[in-house]
Structure 1
Amino acid sequence: MKQRGRHRRQKRGRAVRAFLAGTALALTAAATMISASQATVSKDPGGLKEVTASAADFRLQERLVPQKTLDRLASVMGRPVGVRAILEDTDRFLRTPASCTTAQRTALPVEPAAARAYCWDIADTRGWRAGAVTTSGDADDDGQWGEHRVILSGWTRATDRADRPGLARIAIVDADDPANLTYTWALLAVPVDGGRDYRGLTSAVSGMTWYQSKLLVTTADGLYVYDLHRVQRATVDSGRVGKVRGGWSAYGARYVLPAVGSYRLAKGGVRPAAISLDRSTAPDTLVASERVPADSDRPTRLWRYAFSGDPARAGLLATDAAGRANATEAYETKTTGVGGVLSYASEWYLDRAADAGSGHGTLWRQNRRDADATECGTDGSTSCWSGGAGSLSYWEETGEVWSQSGQMLYALPLSSIDRSLGERE
């Protein structure tokens, strides 16, 4: 049965790649509406430098929510539902480029151009800030979650204080049909009172990776862990969060995802701001970068953790006897303002935000020897990537890199990125 399923998935993968090829030219025209002359030439950061800092700088302490707490919450809220049930219940849709505004499309990369793109309904996302993206290509090496292709898009509720992010939610997107993406919302939550209630997670969702059944989300003090087998239904549609009269509310979302654990930073530890999965390592690893202001003279640190190979700990990080996850390697880069990080086959890809409030950012490819960035226009500009630095997620089965900038969700082949960056010597 597994072999027949893989044949179906390979056929579907070919259909997706055909769709990418058929839409690339239209998106190229949309992206190049932005003049490259608005941008500047970024300073070459050179090669990565291996870090010899203390292991404690990158150490995370695992804290799992007691099983009794999770079971109590499931008991009072009702039996959890799976991703498949959610995909059968999507109530919103993403728009194709022809239905997106010019202002929305200007967030797309200039070079290389997106192969396909979608925009969110402005009314549905008003007051929320787009963040990280991960896919079923991260969750399973065959690119599917069961028989479905799925995208998870993270959002943070805007507040009047930049240092105090609001609630966090994810869009669970049915991506089976590339021409018709539909989705619904799930609020990220944290169990409280021994599982008798929950509160909303208040964190800027700048990093997010779905591996096996677990979803890892960056927070101000480490990572929160969610289990895609433990999605709960909200029963009351209101602006409140948690137990309310008549049932359970999730700030207007139809589903709630309660945390099953967390990884907390050691005192003075380096905070992961962007994360992604690297399937080119053995075992698979979680890569991370910190956020250093674009105008800073301090280097940015990059590092990775191994995932556990224990079937009983599927989707969790490898830890020592004390429950500590330790980095397996770490580097420094002179690239600052990093909003997205990706590592694959010994190469690191860093999404750097635009220098100004508008314009385009830079995508750097680095290894221990050197760094490359795409040039666009006649002035040698390297500001060719999306305007707002967003997370990067590699869907290995289809060869796509997914990202999000402003109101645009988009994908392009990793091979097109490498071609734009040039061949390694």
Structure 2
Amino acid sequence: MSRRNLLAAALSAAVVTTTLAASPAAAAPAAAPNLNDFVLNNTSGDLQSRVDKLDAQLPKLGVQNILDQANRQGSTGSACTSPALDTMKEPTLRKFCFNAGDTDTTEWIPQGVTTVADAQEDQQWGTKQALLVSWYNKDTSPAKGVRVSFLDPATSKYQHVLLVYPYINSNGNPSYEAVTTPQAGNGGSVHAGGIVWYGNYLYLVDTARGIRVFDMRSIFDLKSATNGDTADQNQVGRQNNVYYGFGYRYVMPQVAGWSNPEGVVDHPADYKCLAGGRQRYSYVSLDRSTNPDTLLTGEYCGDQGDPNLNGRVARWNLDGATGLPSPDGDGIWRAKSALRLPKPRVQGATATDGRWYLSSTGGGTTGPGHLQAALPDKATGAGVLTVDGPERDVAIGVEDLSYWPGKNEVWTVTEHPGKRVLYSVPR
């Protein structure tokens, strides 16, 4: 080879070597999560006794009666239209629109969804087949926490119920405050990214803390109370012997809590996730196809270009007889399995018969949301989910998921002001 050719070969090799050196290292394949990261301690303390003291002060109303006298009129069927649905590639099975005030408000943002099919195996609550949606309060002072809409699709009517945290005030009287993180002081509203109605209980995820539990049998009616006020929208709890709820008629106090061993966890900013450590409790759903029934939790993670940073989902056993968590013998509630997600930006996850369904975003306020089926990857171990079938374009701003057995429906709600709708699609 001539000297010129030798020089050319050397330069070519140098270019290749430099290019290879400059190329980023390929991300490691996704590995199964560490189950030790999924642990919750019972931090209920005397919450139930505080609620019992409220019970002596305030009248209650049951879910069916709340639905019967619901004060807001929504719409269903052809009367329900929303620009959020413009990106749908298939017809919805059922849909529900809120009234104009709730559709357009920037003060409250809808996030979580659950149905009577989660609550009862026979899918009935009295004569009702209710749907529930959680909303978090945004950018108000003081923060108003979380409200839940109880919707009756048979009448298109619904009623908001304010979730609250009970405490005993300085005078020794039972009171309550908004649901925030941290709970006392200047905390912001809990994000309320997912809810599950199971038996008599409502499970609410608290992103950095764990899971809060409320009791459907303890919904207090401030309008019917001799010492209640529903006119003042700026006060909450017992003030000068009068009970307030930011103007809402009904309040439902927390009765139990399950928290990270460290309490509130300081997760990375900008929705960045770690491969290990405590899970973000971003959303929650129920799987009735397992024995026992299992609560499913998961985390929302931004796209970091690494399959180990897409987020994780976990299963937690429930006690079908009581509707409460089923902890281990030492009283600690541990997840029985966990899986890595196959994609980032997952806003909700549910499962049935071993198959998972994931909602995800990425199109902002104009692009479609997505629905994706997934299965555990047996080739790499049960700790990783892989996509199963095509990604389906769904409504803009898709959030939490809930599966309705028998009707073969996957329910979700959209979050953006002016583009809010609760709807279902085929599984």
TM-score normalised according to structure 1 size: 0.76
Shift of 1:99: 4.3
Deviations, residues 232-286 of structure 1 (Å, cap 9, x unaligned): 1123122111113573221122100100011101335212211100011000001
Of 81, 85, 96, 2:65 maps to: 85
1:190 matched to 2:198 = no
Shift of 1:64: 2.4
Shift of 1:191: 0.4
Moved more, 218-227 or 356-365: 356-365
- After TM superposition, the runs of 4+ consecutive aligned structure 1 residues lying more than 4 A away are 97-101
Structure 1: segments with no counterpart, 5+ residues:
1-47, 375-381, 415-425
% of aligned pairs identical?
A: 27
Which is greater in Rg?
Answer: 2
Matches of residues 312-391 of structure 1 in structure 2 within 5 Å? 314-369=322-377, 370-374=386-390, 382=391, 384-391=393-400
Deviations, residues 206-225 of structure 1 (Å, cap 9, x unaligned): 01001111100011311110
1:121 matched to 2:99 = yes
Of 408, 411, 425, 1:399 maps to: 408
Size of the aligned set, in residue pairs, is 348
Shift of 1:351: 0.4
Tell me, yes or no, if the aligned pair for 2:143 and 2:178 is still in contact at 8 Å: no
Q: Tell me: CA distance 1:253–1:57, structure 2 relative to 1, closer, same or farther (3 Å).
A: same
Looking at both structures, which has the greater relative contact order when contacts are Cα pairs under 8 Å and sequence separation is at least 6?
A: 1
Aligned counterpart, 2:291: 282
Aligned counterpart, 1:19: none
1:50 & 1:138 partners in 2: Cα distance? 31
TM-score normalised according to structure 2 size: 0.76
Amino acid at match of 1:210: W
Shift of 1:96: 3.1
Aligned counterpart, 1:232: 220
Of 255, 258, 261, 1:260 maps to: 255
Shift of 1:398: 2.3
Moved more, 337-346 or 59-68: 59-68
Query: SS state of the match for residue 307, structure 1?
Result: strand
2:347 & 2:99 partners in 1: Cα distance? 23
Structure 2: segments with no counterpart, 5+ residues:
1-28, 180-188, 223-227, 263-276, 378-385
1:360 & 1:52 partners in 2: Cα distance? 30
Shift of 1:323: 2.1
Tell me, yes or no, if the aligned pair for 1:265 and 1:271 is still in contact at 8 Å: no
2:78 & 2:376 partners in 1: Cα distance? 42
1:136 matched to 2:116 = yes
Tell me, yes or no, if the aligned pair for 2:115 and 2:131 is still in contact at 8 Å: yes
Deviations, residues 277-296 of structure 1 (Å, cap 9, x unaligned): 00110000011111111355
Question: Please, what is the CA RMSD of the aligned residues?
Answer: 2.3
Shift of 1:157: 1.2
1:393 & 1:185 partners in 2: Cα distance? 20
1:154 matched to 2:134 = yes
Q: Tell me: CA distance 1:90–1:337, structure 2 relative to 1, closer, same or farther (3 Å).
A: same
